[in-house]
Structure 1
Amino acid sequence: MGKMPGWRFFPRSGFVQQAIMAHMIPIDLDINMLRCFKAVAETGSFTKAGNNIGLTQAGVSTKIRRLEERLDAKVFNRTSKKLSLTHEGEILLTHAQRILSAHDEAVSQLTTPKAFGLLRVGLIDYVLPELLPGILSQFRKRYPNISLEVQMDLGTGLIPAFEKGDLDLVVAGKDLYQGSCRVLIQEPLVWATGQGAEFDMHETLPLIALPSPCHFRKIATEALEQKNRKWKIGFTVTSISSVQTAVQAGLGLSVLPIGALKEGLNKAPSKLELPELPMFSIAIFADEQKKNNARDVFISYLEAEVGKQKSCR
């Protein structure tokens, strides 16, 4: 075939050919780079991200630099006081979240022991109230061979059932049981009031509490006694949800974990000068001397999900 009239052909230079080839070769993004990028985006800090994923600040910085070099794009705007996503970083974060979720689910399904059978779980009714339904739903989908039976109750009801062997594991307040446990969550206890509720620091404070030997009731009354504050049990209820409802209605104050402050509940104002409260630990109780693959899978899954939430804070 001859050359077309009016056209002149030039051989491609080495530089042009290399540029064309570079665009033809697909770019592979390393999972660890994406995980590091996601951690930085969620924490807003190279140092915090490193703490969450087990890297030094320098190690995080190196991975982000390599990621930007591979993409030929900046993913973070860096100033001395603030770290924020660029437009390209926002696009990447959306994809990174999906990629990591699919990656982790695939690895989990292919490497986790093929657990099956009935698993009886006891959960206090204020553990991860906004997140727990989704966590349990995803667990059922991921491990269809595990038949999950969940009992939600106060810790004072769950622990005796666990001791009798009616439950395979319990998630409850650490102080409720003297046996070995694994701490899942630590959060502060707070004095809770309803929105718009008014109390005078000189009046006898009406408390809303569960029946004795409720741990929160004991902490509240002992703290007030030590400060010589007058108090009375205004309402005794039988569930945390009932405590929340009564406090929302402005019928009194109560002591709750900060994670149990749902809509309509506030921390008591500082003008009441209420005594400080300790941290509260939610723990997993299980007899790990007994072999139970389904239980072990559930514990690992729950700890991983709670860890994800911590890294997002």
Structure 2
Amino acid sequence: MDLSIELLKTFIVVVEEMNFTRAAERLYKTQSAVSLQMKRLSEEVGEPLFCRKGKTLALTEKGEKLRMYAVRILKSHEEACIGLSGSGVAGNITLGISDEYTPIIFTKILAGFAERYPNVSVGVVCKPSPELKKRVDENLLDIAILAEYESSGLLLRYEPMMWMASRTYAYDGGVVQLAVYPDYCIARNTGIEYLAKAGVPYRIAYETESSRLLRSAVKSGMAVSPVLSRVYRDDHYRQLGSEEGFPELPHIPVTLHRSKDRNDEVAEYLLEHIKKVFREI
């Protein structure tokens, strides 16, 4: 029996999603490729790993047993990679992000990368996506994570949007008071577009470049904001839906860009780490 790390990684993502289509999106693979990998893994184990309970995908008894082993194997593999290869990598690199993505960047990406590669210094630049794209193209920035519809970068994920409101907010059916980023922001423009299409009156009450100030305006209960939903999972906020008169928002592409001048191992390690984090969040 040969349980490859790649197959086990795919298996765990499928288990987490319990949906081959969503798992394929997280892994940047086609659904058929994921299905083929799971077929290969089942053949290695000698028994089916998944079964159907109605329309729901579930683990078989053997699949559940493999899940427990896979978690331990992948954890040991990660620790070995860190211990054997991480400490010898050194250098400097710059990473560009939009302000609204800073919670994920600092808690998930930078902290984990610093632990694995302590001798690499990462400089962070917070700017609007159009400015970050320009800097990468001009080789003034090494790597950038952008939220934009038209992009030549590597797709990290389609990020769902939501209408963010305070826990106490109640829409009275009148003019919606908005808290938004300036007009370069894709979430702002998308939210306004969908309000207009739905015939919902709105007013821009708060405009700021600061995610902290935007959250404060929403938390006060005086405004709502169209945002990337994964970024603002917090007990202080709730999501508004169609039952309250707000239109359903689309998913926004989040893409990864690299300067053509950065083809070294430091850039490769950071790129792979970012992709890994986005597969897991």
Determine the structure 1 residue equivalent to 2:254: 282
Unaligned runs of 5+ in 1: 1-27, 70-74
1:184 to 156, 161, 167: 156
> Hey, what's the Cα distance between the residues in 2 that align with 1:154 and 1:108?
33
Shift in Å, 1:235: 1.5
1:35-64: CA deviation from partner (whole Å, max 9, x where unpaired): 565355434467877895875647635633
Q: Does 1:135 align with 2:109?
A: yes
**Same amino acid, percent of matched pairs:** 21
Shift in Å, 1:206: 0.8
The 3-state SS of whatever aligns with 1:126 is: helix
2:125 to 143, 151, 161: 151
Using structure 1 for the length normalisation, give the TM-score: 0.69
The 3-state SS of whatever aligns with 1:129 is: helix
Query: Given that residues 108 and 277 in structure 2 are in contact (C-alpha distance below 8 angstroms), is that contact kept between their aligned partners in structure 1?
Result: no
Using structure 2 for the length normalisation, give the TM-score: 0.75
Determine the structure 2 residue equivalent to 1:63: 41
The 3-state SS of whatever aligns with 1:167 is: coil
Change (3 A) 1:62 1:146: closer
Determine the structure 1 residue equivalent to 2:218: 247
Q: Which amino acid aligns with 1:248?
A: K
Determine the structure 1 residue equivalent to 2:242: 270
Shift in Å, 1:29: 6.2
1:139-185: CA deviation from partner (whole Å, max 9, x where unpaired): 2232334222223454366456546654212112225xx77322222
Q: Which amino acid aligns with 1:67?
A: V
1:275-297: CA deviation from partner (whole Å, max 9, x where unpaired): 44332112122222554432232
* Greater Cα offset, 163-172 or 31-40: 31-40
Change (3 A) 1:29 1:123: same
1:221-260: CA deviation from partner (whole Å, max 9, x where unpaired): 3333344432211122232232223212211111111212
Shift in Å, 1:128: 7.8
Query: Given that residues 165 and 238 in structure 2 are in contact (C-alpha distance below 8 angstroms), is that contact kept between their aligned partners in structure 1?
Result: yes
Q: Does 1:174 align with 2:144?
A: no
Change (3 A) 1:162 1:49: closer
The 3-state SS of whatever aligns with 2:213 is: helix
Query: Given that residues 175 and 202 in structure 2 are in contact (C-alpha distance below 8 angstroms), is that contact kept between their aligned partners in structure 1?
Result: yes
Shift in Å, 1:119: 0.5
Higher gyration radius (CA): 1
The 3-state SS of whatever aligns with 2:209 is: coil
Q: Does 1:31 align with 2:4?
A: yes
> Hey, what's the Cα distance between the residues in 1 that align with 2:14 and 2:197?
44
> Hey, what's the Cα distance between the residues in 1 that align with 2:37 and 2:272?
27
Q: Which amino acid aligns with 1:283?
A: T
Q: Which amino acid aligns with 1:30?
A: L
Q: Does 1:212 align with 2:183?
A: yes
Unaligned runs of 5+ in 2: none
1:175-201: CA deviation from partner (whole Å, max 9, x where unpaired): 5xx773222221232222222211122
The 3-state SS of whatever aligns with 2:100 is: coil
Q: How many pairs were matched up?
A: 272
Q: Could you say what the CA RMSD is over the residues aligned between the two structures, in angstroms?
A: 3.8
